[in-house]
Structure 1
Amino acid sequence: MDLHKPPAEPAQQQLAQHQSAHQRPARQSPEGQTPEGCLVVAIRLPVRIVVLVLVVPVRMVWDALVVAGRFLKDTVLRPVGRALGWVARAVFVWPFIGLWRYVVVPLGRALAWLGNVLVVVPLGWLHRHVLTPLGHALVWLARGIGSVLALLMTGMYTALAWLVRYLVVVPAVWLYTWVLAPVGRAVAWCAKGLVRGVVLLATGLGVALYWILRVLFVLPALALWRWVLVPVWRFLAVVGREVGEALGHAWRVAGRISLAVGRALGTLFRWILVEPVRWFHRAVLTPVGHAVRDAVLRPAAEAARSVGRATRLALASARESARQARADFRRMLFGEPERAEAVDGREPLGLEARTLDSSTTALTKD
């Protein structure tokens, strides 16, 4: 416990803090939102109650449909889909793969080889030995003719240029300088004066029309928006927001209720049907199955294995007898086959192999 009291603040500092507290704006709620009005609070509770009553049956039906859909997907749709996929592959995919791999691809390669031999190679030979020399000859001939035509055209172009200059260009320049330019300047001055008058007239009409539209339409529309539509929109926004929040809250609450009801129904189903079936399987079917397996199935399996072994031995002896009979028949017809002499693949023993200890090399020879 602190026994020392803080020193008293001066009167001027207390007065300044009191004034700043009065001038400070109102604090917002911890979530950063302004305090809600009585209209919002009055709308929220009845809306949430009505929405909860309407949403709980819908949520329970939705959860039941989800559970049924998952069970149907796991037990029916997925195996059927796998079977249909396998059938589709066996009926459509594998035949087309075999047709492509063993018919279309070899046929395409054969056609490509034939096209290369019958078309590409002859065309290449024709291009190299016929068309290329003929093209070179035509190019040389065209160059000669072009040179002659160029000489002729140069003279004609010079004469034509002189005629055009003195018969067309010079008269056109004189006409533009002394006739068209003065007329164009006069027309431009008249057009500028007309445009200025039209602009002044349009400006006066625009100002008058602006004030007429502002007084007749803009100001009434602005008053309607500010004093009628904005308050109505704010009220509708509050109602819509509260309805949306009520729907979300009701959907979550209905989910919890539906989960509790589903767990209760699952527990009841387990104790009424699943546990008796499990007890019957464990206490009745399992001992009966073990007894049938030990008394019937195992002896039958042993007898079947014994019969299979005897059958395999009989078949093996029959195959050996048939093989021996074929060998005897072949010897009787063709005689004994000649036996190849065994050849020793090792080095001869008469000559010693060259080793590091021997003195048969050129450096260690005596």
Structure 2
Amino acid sequence: MNTETSQPTPGGEGCLAGAFRIPVKIVALLVVLPVRVVWELLAALGRLLYRHVLRPFSTYILEPVLRALGRLVTTLVKLVFVWPWVGLWRYLLRPVGSWLYTYLLAPVGRVLYGYVLRPLALLTWRYVLVPVGRALIWLAEAAYRYLLRPLYRHVLTPLGRAVAWAWHVAGLITAALWRAFKWTGRILIGWPATQVYRYLLTPVGHLARAVWRPVRDAAREVRAEVRRALFGAPPVEPTRSRARTLGSTTAAGNTPAPEISLHERQG
């Protein structure tokens, strides 16, 4: 007897869903298919219209018309805003300016330069600048001759020499005072301090050291006795020599090293 129950297939659909799927597909087919057909027809019509109507119209009609309009607008702008000013400058202002410069400004300028500016400049140079320059040169020479040179010769030079002599004398006096100060310090401080150190502090130091050593040794012995009485005597380890021969475990002086065997020590 087969006791296994049938399990529904994963992802399977029931009868109700299957019954609704067929009408939905039919409706979708009836609605979507005409829309898709109409869309494709419109797209084909649009491509056909662009290829055979709009692009030829733009290429052969619209672009030439726009280029012609652009040239027309450019010509109108030049005609209204450029060519009048160019003509005004070329045929009126430049000839008038050239005529004015040739027959009015240049003669007036030559007259002004020849009869006004040049004589005025010559008068100014001859009767103003040259006398003022000469006066300044004379004042500079007079100031140097009667003021600066006597001041340097009779005031600054002696003053500099006096300052140099005073500086030298002050150096000599300072050196003498420093030698006197050192001699006084050596006599009043150095020599007494040396004598006190030699004949007083040194014997006292030797005496204190001679007294301090027995006291220190006695204090150490008392401390060792007190420690031995309180805590007992520490174990005495045998003195080991640190000097060994190279490559040998036997210390110098035939003293057995810590790592020598018991048989070797007894031997």
Using CA pairs below 8 Å that are at least 6 residues apart, which structure has the higher relative contact order?
Answer: 1
TM-score (norm 1): 0.37
Q: Which is greater in Rg? A: 2
